[in-house]
Amino acid sequence: MLKVVFAGIALLLSLAAPAPGEEVVNVYSARHYDTDDALLKKFTKDTGIKVNIIEGKSDALLARMKQEGELSPADVFITVDAGRLGKAEDQGIFQPVKSRILEKQIPESLRHPEGLWYGLTKRARVIVVSNERVPAETTSLDYESLAGPEWKGRVLIRSSSNIYNQSLIASLIKAHGPEVTEKWCRGIVENMARTPQGGDRDQIRGVAAGEGDVAVVNHYYLARMMDGNEADKEAASKVRVIFPNQKNRGTHVNVSGAGVVKTAPNRDNAIKFIEFLASNEAQQKFASGNQEYPVVVGIETTPILAGFGTYKSDALNAAQLGANNKEAVRIMDRAAWR
């Protein structure tokens, strides 16, 4: 136990006190893909700034920064979903940053209005339908329609504890208000093909296996299955993507994003690091590592995503998803969404 404690202290000191003349940026990251490693090396090569990265689950990293307090070496915090970014915001983790580069590169709806965090990749919460049991002429669906009687016993979706669903509900609160949103949640519960279980891939596999006819998932789970093992490829071949709400407000989108930590010892380097991730050069690689969409307009997507086609996004500012999170959770609880 003492070895673990001393190792933690040694790591903290090594991050907080770089060698004389050494430029560093300390990144606490809740996302990691192989393509990220190449980008970190490229950033160091271009700027001379060494990247120290600590990886972990979002809540664990937040708890760590809280425990470290003002002595935390963290410069940048990266996490997925605006709901988690909102949680970090509520805990006072971020400081506002004004950057002409970031404001130019990242659409207004995908960054915090006060510059507390900036979206770096975009993910769409789509509807996946059975090729066999949902007619081919069904090319347009809204989230709202899934609560209708025609979908009774046919809907697969994750539990209410899932942050992606919480953010979807948060967007519906903004679009329709709490009362209508709660009625919709009750309709979804009534229409569930089974008690929520598993992750987004499991919902897709459930549709492919005939356990349900439609599923609500983040787009990249299907994209990764299409590029995965033979079993996942076979399951993916039995479904298709529909981008919801194309005739009105657009498909709900979320972000992975980053902000500069309030107590960052290397603030300028932190800003440079986030600006690098938002550059045209980095965007394609950063997003493609997880089959996500770049936030910068005009950047090429992966061939699989190109095959999904283009879509209209909900223009709601992603910060609103975090702001509405607590109310979304209360509504889902009242609707008995387990």
Instruction: Identify whether residues 262 and 212 lie together within a single domain.
Output: no
Which pLDDT score, from 0 to 100, does residue 191 have?
A: 98
* Confidence (pLDDT) at 289: 87
Tell whether 307 is covered by a domain: no
Is 136 inside a domain boundary? yes
What total number of domains does the chain contain? 2
Classify residue 258: in a domain, yes or no: yes
Mean pLDDT calculated for residue range 107-111: 97
> What local confidence, expressed as pLDDT, does residue 7 receive?
38
Residue 45 pLDDT exceeds 80: yes
Q: Are residues 185 and 245 in the same domain?
A: yes
Give the C-alpha distances (Å, rounded to integers) separating 317 from 40, 103, 137, 162.
Answer: 28, 14, 32, 20
Q: Examine the domain organization and report whether 197 and 116 are in the same domain.
A: no
Q: What was the pLDDT predicted at 33?
A: 72
Does residue 66 share a domain with residue 134?
Answer: no
Per-residue confidence (pLDDT) for residue 15, from 0 to 100: 60
| 239 and 164 assigned to the same domain | yes
Mean pLDDT of the chain: 93
Please give the C-alpha separations between residue 197 and each of 132, 136, 165, 234, in angstroms, as whole numbers: 23, 28, 13, 21
Contact 293, 223 (CB under 8 A): no
Output the pLDDT for position 1. Answer: 37
Is the same domain home to 234 and 258? Answer: no
Beta strands in 171-266 (DSSP E): 214-218, 239-242, 253-260
Q: Convert the pLDDT of each residue in 117-145 to its tens digit.
A: 999 999 999 999 999 999 999 999 999 99
Region 80-96: mean pLDDT is 96
Q: Is the pLDDT of residue 6 over 50?
A: no
Please report, for the domain that includes residue 51, its CATH number.
3.40.190.10
The whole domain housing 229 covers 123-252+320-334
Specify the pTM. 0.91
Kindly state whether residues 128 and 238 are assigned to the same domain.
Answer: yes
Are 79 and 92 part of one and the same domain?
yes
Same-domain pairing of 156 and 78: no
Q: How confident is the model at residue 53 (pLDDT cuts 50, 70, 90)?
A: very high
For residues 142-164, average pLDDT: 97
Q: What is the pLDDT of residue 37?
A: 82
14 in any annotated domain: no
pLDDT band at 217 (very low <50, low <70, confident <90, very high): very high
